[in-house]
Amino acid sequence: MAATRAKAVVFALVVLLVCSAQQSMGARRRMELYQPNPADMLSYHNGQVLHGDIAVSILWYGQFTQ
């Protein structure tokens, strides 16, 4: 009885391990196949991005090193 139960637990763990490995590899393949639309991508047009006076505030939490 105990041997059968141990075999069932080992079998369940092996199946779980194989399924998780397959899912992680499948997710990687899907991302490799993804190709974004070039119209949706940002492109540099050799011009100014921001115009006029722009206020910039810098917050520093920590110490300045010398």
Rounded distance between C-alpha atoms, residue 32 and residue 34, angstroms: 6
Phi/psi-derived region of residue 39, left when phi > 0, alpha when psi is between -120 and 50, beta in every other case? alpha
The DSSP annotation for 2-60 comes to HHHHHHHHHHHHHHHHHHHHHHHHHHHHHHHH----GGGS----SS-SS-S--------
Question: Would you place residue 60 in the very low, low, confident or very high pLDDT band (cuts 50, 70, 90)?
Answer: confident
DSSP code of residue 62: S
pLDDT of 27 above 70: no
Please tell me the predicted confidence (pLDDT) of residue 21. 64
Please tell me the predicted confidence (pLDDT) of residue 6. 86
Q: Between residues 57 and 38, which one has the greater pLDDT?
A: 57
In the chain, where are the structural domains located? 2-33
